[in-house]
Amino acid sequence: MGKYHELAEKIVKNVGGKENINSLTHCITRLRFKLKDEGKANDDILKNMDGVVTVMKSGGQYQVVIGNHVPQVYEEVVSIAGISADAEQESSGGNIFNRLIDILSGCFQPFLGALAAAGMVKGLNALLVFLNLYSNTSGTYTMLNGIGDAIFYFMPVILGYTAARKFNLNPMVGIVIGAALCYPSVQGGALQAAYEATAGADGGAPFSLLGLPAYDTFLGIPWVGASYTSSVVPIIFIVAFAAQIQKLFKKIIPEVVQTFLVPFFVLLIALPIGFLVIGPIISMATDLLSAGFQSLMSFSPALYGIILGFFWQVLVIFGLHWSVVPLAIMQITQEGFSQVLTGSFAASFAQTAVVMAMFFKLKDKKLKALCPPAIISGIFGVTEPAIYGITLPKKTPFVFSMIGAAVGGLYLMINEVTSYTMGGLGIFGVLNFINGDDASGMIHSFVAIAISMAIGFALTFFFWKDDAVEETAAKETAQKAMKEAVLSPVKGSVLPLSKATDQAFAQGALGKGVLIEPTEGIVRAPFDGTVMTLFPTKHAIGLISDQGMELLIHIGMDTVQLDGKHFEAKVAQGDKVKKGDVLVTFDIEAIKAAGFSVETPVIVTNTGDYLDIVETQNGEVTSNDTLITALA
> Looking at residue 501, what is its pLDDT?
87
Please give the model's pTM, rounded to 2 decimal places.
0.51
Domains 5-83 and 471-631 share a fold: no
pLDDT confidence tier of residue 317, bands split at 50, 70 and 90: low
E-strand ranges in 370-518 read: 483-487, 492-496, 512-518
CB atoms within 10 A of CB 154: 18
Tell me if 420 sits within 8 A of 335, measured CB to CB: no
CATH for 5-83, among 3.30.1360.60, 3.30.1510.10, 3.40.50.300, 1.10.3720.10? 3.30.1360.60
Residue 159, judged by CB atoms within 10 A of its CB (0-12, 13-18, 19+), counts as buried
> Looking at residue 479, what is its pLDDT?
46
Inter-helix orientation angle 258-273/171-182, to 10°: 40
* Domain ranges, ordered by start, for the chain: 5-83, 109-296, 297-463, 471-631
Q: Rounded to an integer, what distance in angstroms lies between the CA atom of residue 572 and that of residue 91?
A: 25
Over residues 421-449, mean pLDDT: 85
pLDDT confidence tier of residue 323, bands split at 50, 70 and 90: low
| Per-residue model confidence as pLDDT tens digits over 489-543 | 999 999 999 898 888 888 888 889 999 999 999 999 999 999 988 888 899 999 9
DSSP string spanning 599-614? -EEEEETTGGGSSEEE
Over residues 574-585, mean pLDDT: 93
Q: What integer best gives the mean pLDDT of the chain?
A: 83
> Looking at residue 468, what is its pLDDT?
59
Reply yes or no on whether the pLDDT at 630 is more than 90.
no
DSSP string spanning 45-61? HHHTSTT--EEEEETTE
CATH dotted code for 471-631: 2.70.70.10
> Looking at residue 214, what is its pLDDT?
64
Least confident segment among 45-54, 205-214, 390-399: 205-214
Reply yes or no on whether the pLDDT at 125 is more than 90.
no
| Per-residue model confidence as pLDDT tens digits over 436-482 | 778 899 999 999 999 999 999 999 999 998 875 544 444 545 444 45
> Percent of the chain scored above 70 by pLDDT?
85
CB atoms within 10 A of CB 239: 30
DSSP string spanning 183-224? -GGGSHHHHHHHHHHTTTTTSPPPPEETTEEEEEEETTEEEE
> Looking at residue 203, what is its pLDDT?
46
SS3 557: coil
In the residue annotation, 27 being an active-site residue is answered as: yes
Tell me if 527 sits within 8 A of 487, measured CB to CB: yes
